[in-house]
């Protein structure tokens, strides 16, 4: 591990306020239909106002503590550390209420929606974790809730669909395109364009138009700050050598990176090989912001392919694109096969069944075990695997339909 954490206070953070234009270097921005521009600007003002209001912060902290169960613990993995030859720490976001880090952002946004007087919430979801978290918070605040989910994901995440309905949300299948997360975002944006005067769009990742990438990061900062404090305690004032997180849109990764970006720790985002927006390195604009984007030579957005519904997304949050651009974080692809192996490994060695998303981070650690030998590695365990066990069982049993969701191709090799 690194001896001392460098001072956070003496210089401007690398993850700062992106300003009124919402720019992270050359990425970000506000690429939305004109109808939505005033709503995005109103949201930015409302968020700035709330975020600087101690009563809002106190109310959110109270909810994060007594409703969501924060702070989440940090677990040192003795068995896994011995097996991999590195010191493995897990930030246990899987232990939050609703089973993932998503609740941090959702409680922040739904509390903000309440403050703004919006009574209807729309959201998109991939794996269903953001949808479940949004349905949960909407139930808590008494808000109407509609969640858009790709038809493919509705099938492979049936348990989360049932959870959302149980919580009183309406789940609408997105039937266009690849029928996964990208298309759910399209449908949620179309709904918002049509209902913007009454509706709050609770976006689930650090993507979309300004102010979402910044606001969602701020709502997840709590997990990075906790992890930083927990590491200082555990590592005698130090920080880990490497901080690892899975990246689809990139919200859990931004959360944990925010705690370490101004330290010496190396930051690694792990993308599915079939959805490696950063790895392919093409800049594009979709869903409201400029970032890296999987696309063809004409600019048509390509369909991602991943065993994990939560990472099955062709884009990535603009701040990740910036962190990659300036070399502060690196982004690595892993295959679905490696992910399934890592999923089983954590269950077997530590008694923790991870979600398929953080299993990507572990898969990269397994692959790079030689490079990481003797180092202290912090993995953000962003969610628990209950939602995935039926799918993984079907895959391991060789069910043809389940196997269709798996890309057994080899990992891409950085920039094309």
Partner 1 sequence: MATSDVTTPTPSTDAVASARPGRLESHLRAQRAAGRKILVPYITAGYPTDTWPLLVEGLATAGADAIEIGIPFSDPVMDGPTIQESSSLALGHGITPVSALARLGKVNSPIPLVAMTYYNICFRMGHRRFANALTTAGISGAILPDLPLEEVEPWAGAADEGGIETIMLAAPTAPDERLPRIVARARGFVYGIGLVGITGERKDLAASASEMARRLKAITDKPVLIGIGVSTPEQAAEVAEVADGVIVGSALIRKILDTGSIEAGVDFLGRLRAGLDGAA
Contact set for partner 1, span 152-181 (CB under 8 A)? 176-177
40, 77, 145, 368: the catalytic one is 77
Q: Which of 11, 45, 101, 231 is catalytic?
A: 101
Single out the segment in contact with partner 1 by CB under 8 A; choices: 9-17, 128-136, 189-197, 253-261: 189-197
As a whole number of Å, the end-to-end CA separation of the chain is: 33
Q: Which residues contact 190 (CB under 8 A, 6 or more apart)?
A: none
- Taking a C-beta distance cutoff of 8 angstroms, is the pair 165, 138 a contact? no
**Token representation of residue 399:** 């069910």
Helix, strand and coil content of the chain, in percent to the nearest 5, comes to 45, 20, 35
Each residue 36-75 as x (binds partner 1 by CB under 8 A) or -, in order, gives: xxxx------------------------------------
Nearest distance from C-beta of residue 218 to partner 1, angstroms: 21
Comparing CA positions, the residue from 105, 14, 73 lying closest to residue 378 is: 73
Examine the residue annotation and report whether 202 is marked as an active-site residue of this protein. no
- Judged by CB under 8 A, does residue 193 bind partner 1? yes
User: Which of 4, 13, 35, 393 is in the footprint of partner 1 by CB under 8 A?
Assistant: 35
Using the rule CB under 8 A, which residue among 284, 328, 349, 403 binds partner 1?
284
When binding is defined by CB under 8 A, the residue of 195, 234, 347, 394 that contacts partner 1 is 195
Q: Which is nearer to partner 1, 13 or 35 (CB)?
A: 35
12: contact with partner 1 by CB under 8 A:
no
Nearest to partner 1 of 173, 225 (CB atom): 173
User: Looking at 52, 55, 300, 413, which residue binds partner 1 (CB under 8 A)?
Assistant: 300
Pick the stretch among 74-82, 243-251, 255-263, 282-290 that binds partner 1 (CB under 8 A): 282-290
Q: For residues 114 and 414, what is the distance between their CA atoms, to the nearest angstrom? A: 43
Q: Which of 311, 317, 272, 342 is nearest to 130 (CA)?
A: 311
Q: Which of 144, 150, 143 is nearest to 180 (CA)?
A: 150
Type and span of the H or E element at 171: strand 170-174
Question: Closest separation between CB of residue 281 and partner 1, Å?
Answer: 14
> What's the half-sphere exposure (Cβ side, CA atoms, 13 Å) at 231?
33
Nearer to partner 1, 238 or 317 (CB): 317
CA–CA dist 357, 196 (Å, integer): 32
Q: Which of 301, 324, 339, 378 touches partner 1 (CB under 8 A)?
A: 301
By CB under 8 A, the count of residues binding partner 1 is 37
Contact (Cβ atoms closer than 8 angstroms) between residue 249 and residue 205: yes
* Residue 45 bears catalytic tag: no
CB of 310 to partner 1, least distance (A): 19
Only segment of 30-38, 136-144, 212-220, 397-405 that touches partner 1 (CB under 8 A): 30-38
Minimum Å gap between C-beta 304 and partner 1 is 12
Determine whether 11 is exposed, middle or buried from the number of CB atoms within 10 Å of its CB (0-12, 13-18, 19+): exposed
31 three-state secondary structure: strand
Q: Which is nearer to partner 1, 31 or 51 (CB)?
A: 31
CB of 386 to partner 1, least distance (A): 31
Contact 97, 136 (CB under 8 A): yes
Half-sphere exposure of 277 (CA within 13 A, CB side): 34
Q: Catalog residues that contact partner 1 under the rule CB under 8 A.
A: 21, 29-39, 176-177, 182, 186, 189-190, 193-197, 283-288, 290, 293, 295, 297-301
């Amino acid at each position: 591990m690194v001896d001392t954490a460098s001072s956070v206070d003496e210089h401007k953070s690398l993850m700062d306020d992106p300003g009124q234009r919402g720019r992270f270097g050359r990425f970000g921005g506000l690429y939305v239909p004109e109808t939505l521009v005033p709503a995005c600007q109103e949201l930015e003002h409302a968020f700035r106002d709330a975020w600087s209001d101690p009563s809002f912060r106190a109310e959110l902290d109270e909810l994060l503590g007594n409703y969501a169960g924060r702070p989440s613990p940090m677990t040192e993995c003795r068995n896994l550390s011995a097996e991999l030859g590195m010191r493995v720490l897990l930030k246990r976001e899987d232990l939050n209420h609703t089973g993932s880090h998503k609740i941090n952002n959702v409680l922040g946004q739904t509390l903000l929606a309440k403050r703004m007087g919006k009574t209807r919430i729309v959201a998109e979801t991939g794996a269903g974790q953001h949808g479940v978290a949004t349905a949960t918070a909407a139930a808590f605040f008494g808000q109407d809730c509609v969640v858009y989910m790709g038809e493919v994901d509705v099938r492979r995440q049936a348990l989360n669909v049932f959870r959302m309905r149980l919580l009183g949300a309406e789940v609408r299948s997105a039937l266009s395109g690849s029928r996964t997360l990208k298309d759910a975002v399209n449908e949620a944006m179309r709904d918002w364009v049509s209902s913007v005067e009454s509706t709050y769009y609770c976006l689930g990742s650090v993507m979309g138009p300004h102010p979402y990438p910044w606001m969602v990061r701020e709502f997840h900062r709590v997990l990075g700050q906790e992890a930083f404090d927990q590491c200082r305690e555990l590592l005698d004032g130090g920080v880990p050598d490497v901080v690892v997180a899975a990246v689809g849109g990139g919200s859990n990764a931004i959360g944990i990176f925010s705690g370490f970006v101004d330290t010496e720790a190396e930051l690694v985002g792990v993308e599915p090989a079939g959805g490696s927006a950063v790895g392919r390195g093409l800049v594009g604009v979709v869903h409201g912001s400029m970032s890296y984007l999987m696309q063809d030579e004409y600019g048509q957005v390509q369909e991602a392919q991943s065993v994990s519904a939560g990472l099955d997304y062709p884009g990535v949050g603009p701040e990740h694109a910036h962190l990659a651009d300036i070399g502060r974080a690196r982004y690595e692809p892993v295959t679905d096969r490696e992910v399934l192996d890592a999923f089983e490994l954590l269950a077997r060695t530590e008694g923790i069944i991870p979600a398929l998303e953080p299993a990507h981070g572990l898969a990269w650690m397994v692959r790079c075990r030689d490079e990481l030998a003797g180092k202290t590695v912090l993995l953000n365990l962003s969610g628990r695997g209950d939602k995935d066990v039926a799918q993984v069982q079907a895959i391991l049993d060789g069910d043809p339909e389940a196997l269709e969701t798996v890309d057994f191709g080899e990992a891409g090799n950085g920039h094309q």
